[in-house]
Amino acid sequence: MSNSMKTIQLKTNIKCGGCIAAVTNAMNNLTGEGNWTVDTTTPDKIMTVTTETVTAAQITQTLEQAGFKATAI
């Protein structure tokens, strides 16, 4: 099985810089710094994660533990 980078996008309820700050440590631990972004300007607050190994379920679980919701698109 080859490891290749994939992009996962999820709808979230992360709506501001404070929310992003609240999930930064957990997301950096999960995916690595610089491998995820949240577009708070879109209605769905889309989180984009670039990863080789992390699954959408792991991201959702990490966000839920930080008090946020996420749904894979």
- Encoded tokens for 2: 């080859």
The ranges assigned to domains in the chain are: 15-72
Tens-digit pLDDT profile for residues 19-51: 999 999 999 999 999 999 999 999 999 999 999
Sequence-distant (6+) residues with CB within 8 A of 1 are none
Tens-digit pLDDT profile for residues 50-65: 999 999 999 999 999 9
Going by pLDDT thresholds of 50, 70 and 90, the confidence category of residue 4 is confident
Structure confidence at residue 1 (pLDDT):
46
Structure confidence at residue 3 (pLDDT):
62
The amino acid at 25: N
